[in-house]
C-alpha cells in the first residue's frame, strides 16, 4: 500500500496532497535607506510578517514507466490568507532594489561597450538602492521595472519572458517547476519516491563538472521518504529546485505528533559552511565577480575572501552562494537571521536576532511509512551588494550580504489524517499478533493430536470402524477449523475511522 501505484492509498495522498500547506513570508523593512545611500550608514531593519499564503499542490500529467518510475509535474496555486497574517498583502515595504543590485553585479562581467551604455542609463531609470512596494508586488504579482530588460543584455542566458516585471516569486503562482521522475517503490522500499531525474537530467549542471555537488542521488521531494524504520543512523536527502542542490538531513530526536511517534530530521551542519571549514563544499563554485571592497564594510574583515591568483570569491560560512544556478545573480541563501552563521553577517546590519526556536529548519517523518508528518522549512533570501567601480551615485553603499526576506513553508498533519494514520499503523501489529496466536493454537493442536493418535488408533481398531473413515473425519474437522481461521484473518476492523478519498476531511483542509 506504500508503493506509488494508482491502486494504493499512498498514491492517492501523494498525488493530491491533503495536508494544508502554508508559506509564511517575513520582510526586512529598511528604515534608513537614504542614510545608507548618502553616508554608507549601517542598515537598520525591522521585520514585517508573517504574510501567509495557503497553497494547494497537485501532481498532473502522470506517466508510469516500465522501469518502476513515474513522471509528473506538480502544479502549485497560492492564495493570501489575511486572517493568519499580520496585515494585508497591500502593506508597503521599503526593500532592497533587487533588479538594481543584480544589474550592478552582472555589469562587471559584461562587454565594455554594454557596460558603458548601461552604466550611463542607470541614473536616469532607477529609483535608487531602496524601493517601496507592496507585499504582493514583491512576491507573486511583480511590478514594472525597466532594469529587467537589461538582464538578457548582460547575460544572454537570462530568460526574457518576464514582461518587464520583477517579483521574487513572479511567474511562480499557478505554475509548476518542471518534470520530476521518481521511483514508485516497486523495486524496493529503499527507492520509494526517490528522484530518478529532474527536467530529464539525472544530475545537475550548475557546479564543478563531475563533482558530487551536482548529484541528486537518493534524494526525494521531502513529501515521502524511504521508510527509515529503526535505523536512526541513516541520513535522508531532499532536493528542491529552489535550493539548487541536494540537502542532507540527519536524525535529531524522537517525539510524537498527534499521538504518532515521529523522527525529527535537521540539515547537516556542513550545509552552509564554506570550503575552508568543510572542503567537500569546494565544488560549489561562485559565478560572482570577485571585486568586493572590504574597506566599505566598516568592520574588521570582509564577508568574503578573495584570491587574485584564483579569481574566486568565497563567502564566510553561514550562506550558500546560488549565483551559479541564478544566471550569475548575486543571490545567497541562509537560515533566517543568519542563524548558525558567522557573526560578521549579523554585525553588518541592525535588527537581526537569530533564534533557533523561530528560525531552525526541521522535518518530521513517521519511520514506518516514511511519510512527512510536519515541517518548518525556513530559509532566507539575501543579495550580495557588489558594485562596479566608477559609479558615483552608489559609491557609499556598503558591499555586504543584505537580507531581503525569509520564508517558512510548513505542513502539519490534520486530526483526521492522524487518526487514519494511527489506525493504519496498528494493522501490521494486529495482524502479527493474530498470526502469532493462531500459529501457537495450531501448533498446540498438532502436538495434542500427535499425543492422542496412538489412543485414537487403538479406539478405531477396537470399535470396528475403518481407519480411513477416521482419517476423513479428522481432515474435515481440520478444514472446518481452517475455514473459521481464514474468516477471522480476513475480517476487516469495523472500528477503522471513516475517511474520504483523499485521506482527510474537507473541513480540516479549509484554511479559512
Q: What is the pLDDT of residue 223?
A: 87
361: left (phi over 0), alpha (psi -120 to 50) or beta: beta
**pLDDT tens per residue across span 480-498:** 444 333 333 333 344 444 4
Q: Is 235 exposed, middle or buried (0-12, 13-18, 19+ CB in 10 A)?
A: middle
pTM of the model: 0.80
Q: Where are the domains of the chain?
A: 9-413, 420-509
Secondary-structure percent of the chain, ordered helix, strand, coil, rounded to 5: 30, 30, 40
How far lies 153's CA from each of 107, 149, 158, in Å?
Answer: 10, 8, 9
Given the C-alpha cell 554585525, which residue does it identify?
Answer: 347
Instruction: Determine contact, residues 157/326, Cβ cutoff 8 Å.
Output: no
**Residues linked to residue 379 through DSSP beta bridges, in sequence order:** 407
Q: What is the pLDDT of residue 1?
A: 61
> Digits of tens for pLDDT over the chain (512 positions)?
678 999 888 888 889 887 779 999 999 999 999 999 999 999 999 999 999 999 999 999 999 999 999 999 999 999 999 999 999 999 999 999 999 999 999 888 777 777 778 878 887 777 899 999 999 999 999 999 988 888 888 888 888 767 889 999 999 999 999 999 999 999 899 999 999 999 999 999 999 999 999 999 999 998 889 999 999 999 999 999 999 999 999 999 999 888 899 999 999 999 999 999 999 999 999 988 766 544 333 333 455 554 444 456 889 999 999 999 999 999 999 999 999 999 999 999 999 999 999 999 999 999 988 888 889 999 999 999 988 877 778 889 999 999 999 999 987 776 777 777 777 676 654 433 333 333 343 444 444 444 444 443 434 444 444 444 343 333 344 444 443 333 333 333 444 444 333 333 333 334 33
Instruction: Determine contact, residues 151/102, Cβ cutoff 8 Å.
Output: yes
**Residues linked to residue 250 through DSSP beta bridges, in sequence order:** 266
Is the N-terminal amide bond of 349 cis, ω within 30° of 0?
A: no
**pLDDT tens per residue across span 407-453:** 999 877 767 777 777 776 766 544 333 333 333 434 444 444 444 44
Distance between CA atoms of 132 and 319, rounded to whole angstroms? Answer: 26
What 8-state DSSP symbol labels residue 137? I
Strands in 286-369 per DSSP E:
304-307, 312-315, 320-321, 331-334, 362-365
Q: Say how many Å lie between the first and final Cα of the chain, rounded.
A: 32
Amino acid at each position: 500500500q506504500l508503493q506509488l501505484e494508482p491502486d494504493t492509498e499512498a498514491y492517492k495522498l501523494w498525488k493530491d496532497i491533503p495536508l494544508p500547506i502554508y508559506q509564511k513570508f517575513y520582510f526586512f523593512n529598511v528604515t534608513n535607506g537614504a542614510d545608507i545611500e548618502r553616508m554608507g550608514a549601517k542598515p537598520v531593519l525591522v521585520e514585517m510578517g508573517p504574510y501567509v499564503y495557503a497553497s494547494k499542490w497537485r501532481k498532473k500529467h502522470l506517466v508510469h514507466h516500465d522501469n518502476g518510475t513515474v513522471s509528473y509535474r506538480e502544479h502549485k496555486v497560492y492564495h493570501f490568507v489575511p486572517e493568519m497574517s499580520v496585515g494585508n498583502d497591500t502593506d508597503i515595504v521599503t526593500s532592497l532594489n533587487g533588479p538594481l543590485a543584480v544589474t550592478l553585479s552582472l555589469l562587471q562581467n559584461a562587454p565594455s561597450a554594454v557596460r558603458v551604455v548601461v552604466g550611463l542609463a542607470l541614473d536616469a531609470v532607477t529609483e535608487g538602492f531602496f524601493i517601496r512596494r507592496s507585499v504582493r508586488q514583491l512576491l507573486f504579482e511583480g511590478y514594472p521595472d525597466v532594469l529587467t530588460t537589461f538582464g538578457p543584455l548582460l547575460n544572454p542566458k537570462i530568460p526574457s519572458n518576464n514582461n518587464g516585471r520583477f517579483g521574487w516569486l513572479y511567474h511562480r503562482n499557478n505554475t509548476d517547476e518542471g518534470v520530476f521522475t521518481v521511483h514508485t517503490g516497486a523495486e524496493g522500499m529503499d527507492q520509494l519516491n526517490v528522484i530518478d531525474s529532474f527536467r530529464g537530467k539525472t544530475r545537475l549542471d550548475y557546479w564543478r563538472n563531475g563533482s558530487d555537488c551536482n548529484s541528486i542521488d537518493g534524494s526525494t521531494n521531502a513529501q515521502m521518504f524511504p521508510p527509515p524504520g529503526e535505523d536512526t543512523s541513516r541520513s535522508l536527502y531532499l532536493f528542491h529546485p529552489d535550493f539548487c542542490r541536494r540537502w542532507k538531513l540527519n536524525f535529531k530526536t524522537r517525539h510524537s505528533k498527534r499521538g504518532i511517534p515521529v523522527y525529527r530530521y535537521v540539515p547537516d551542519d556542513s550545509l552552509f559552511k564554506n570550503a575552508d571549514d568543510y572542503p567537500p563544499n569546494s565544488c560549489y563554485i561562485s559565478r560572482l565577480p570577485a571585486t568586493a571592497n572590504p574597506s566599505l564594510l566598516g568592520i574588521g574583515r570582509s564577508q568574503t575572501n578573495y584570491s587574485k591568483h584564483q579569481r574566486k570569491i568565497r563567502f564566510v560560512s553561514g550562506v550558500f552562494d546560488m549565483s551559479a544556478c541564478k544566471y550569475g545573480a548575486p543571490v545567497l541563501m541562509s537560515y533566517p537571521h543568519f542563524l548558525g552563521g558567522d557573526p560578521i553577517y549579523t554585525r553588518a546590519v541592525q535588527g537581526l536576532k537569530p533564534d533557533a526556536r523561530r528560525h531552525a529548519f526541521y522535518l518530521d517523518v513517521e519511520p514506518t511509512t516514511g511519510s512527512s508528518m510536519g515541517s518548518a522549512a525556513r530559509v532566507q533570501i539575501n543579495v550580495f551588494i557588489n558594485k562596479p567601480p566608477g559609479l558615483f551615485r552608489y559609491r557609499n553603499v556598503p558591499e555586504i550580504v543584505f537580507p531581503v526576506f525569509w520564508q517558512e513553508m510548513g505542513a502539519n498533519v490534520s486530526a483526521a489524517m492522524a487518526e487514519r494514520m494511527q489506525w493504519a499503523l496498528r494493522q501490521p501489529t494486529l495482524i502479527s499478533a493474530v498470526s502469532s496466536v493462531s500459529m501457537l493454537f495450531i501448533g498446540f493442536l498438532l502436538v495434542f493430536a500427535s499425543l492422542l493418535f496412538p489412543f485414537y488408533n487403538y479406539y478405531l481398531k477396537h470399535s470396528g470402524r475403518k481407519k480411513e473413515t477416521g482419517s476423513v473425519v479428522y481432515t474435515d474437522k481440520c478444514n472446518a477449523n481452517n475455514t473459521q481461521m481464514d474468516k477471522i484473518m480476513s475480517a476487516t476492523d469495523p472500528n477503522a475511522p471513516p475517511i474520504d478519498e483523499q485521506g482527510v476531511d474537507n473541513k480540516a483542509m479549509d484554511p479559512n
